[in-house]
Amino acid sequence: MLHGSVKVGDAEIFALCDIAGNFPTGLREAFPDVPEEEWPRFRDRYPDAFTDETTWLVHDHCYLLRTPDRTILVDTGIGPLGSSVPGIRRSKGLPAGLEEAGVKPEDVDTVVFTHLHFDHIGWNTPQDPTKPFFEKAMHVVHSADWDVFSELDDPLNRNAFERNIRPLEPAGVLELIGGPLELLPGVSVVPAPGHTLGHMVVSVTSGDDQVLLSGDLVNHPAQLAEPTWREIGDMDVGATADSRRRIFGEGGRRTVYAPAHFQEPFGHVEKEGARYVWSPVA
């Protein structure tokens, strides 16, 4: 479903919610570094990011960027797998959101993956692995993630890679990159490693305005308080903290962040004392 949009220059960025529901492990397993006594304050501040005292209410957002002549999709959600996950609140999915935005799959010219976790690559080949859903799009993947995920032991992510990413190569729609890539003037894919080794963000700028599609740089607003607080999916905790410090340090007051898993798809990251806090765009 469509979750609102923001404009920057002549681009409009739509948030498309693939699913929202309870994260399968408890809050403390998902974010093991957050001290127990901190949670009540975060629950007061960000009530919509919790189902109850011990459960993270997680969204899975994809972002669609439209300009007069480009249609770019960032991440493709959990896909059909989402309908088998217990506790899911909404499951209209990415295809319904695209329809609401007036976009057909064949209109998409570029798909960018912030990283290759199973919940970001789900709608690539929903029916037949030889037939990409976004058939006319080049699919941009960081080569570090391609290398790691093609040899991963973890069955959930490995199976998703083999089913949804590997077939893009023989289909002729895969573009592996090893560093930054400018998609069009003002729109660039930028490495922000840590959550995965090939994790990337997408920066959209026009004059002083910036929207940063930040993928899984941070997954819960509570993590903004301390850059070293990991989420269980983070592959390299030190590199993740470095990427967070760099990106939040570089961002201006006007920068709008669009994280994949927050309850609100767009917001500012503001300094409050020594800590950052999340302030959603109304």
Residues lying near Zn ion in the complex (CB under 5 A) are found at 3, 17, 20, 59, 117, 216, 233
Shortest Cβ 260–Zn ion spacing (Å)? 7
Shortest Cβ 15–Zn ion spacing (Å)? 7
For 51-104, what is the HEC assignment?
Answer: EECCEEEEEEEEEEEECCCCEEEECCCCHHHHHHCCCEEECCHHHHHHHHCCCC
Residue 268 burial by Cβ neighbours in a 10 Å radius (0-12, 13-18, 19+) = middle
Q: Which is nearer to Zn ion, 139 or 261 (CB)?
A: 261
Q: Which is nearer to Zn ion, 17 or 213 (CB)?
A: 17
Residue nearest to Zn ion (CB): 17
Shortest Cβ 184–Zn ion spacing (Å)? 26
Shortest Cβ 215–Zn ion spacing (Å)? 7
Q: Which is nearer to Zn ion, 186 or 267 (CB)?
A: 267
Q: Which is nearer to Zn ion, 186 or 263 (CB)?
A: 263
Contact 81, 155 (CB under 8 A): no
- Nearest-10 Cα torsion for 109, 65, 70, 112: -30
Q: Which is nearer to Zn ion, 129 or 233 (CB)?
A: 233
3-state SS assignment for residue 110 = strand
The alpha carbon of 184 is separated from its chain's Cα centroid by a whole number of angstroms, namely 20
CA-to-CA distance for 38 and 42, rounded, in angstroms?
A: 7
Shortest Cβ 71–Zn ion spacing (Å)? 21
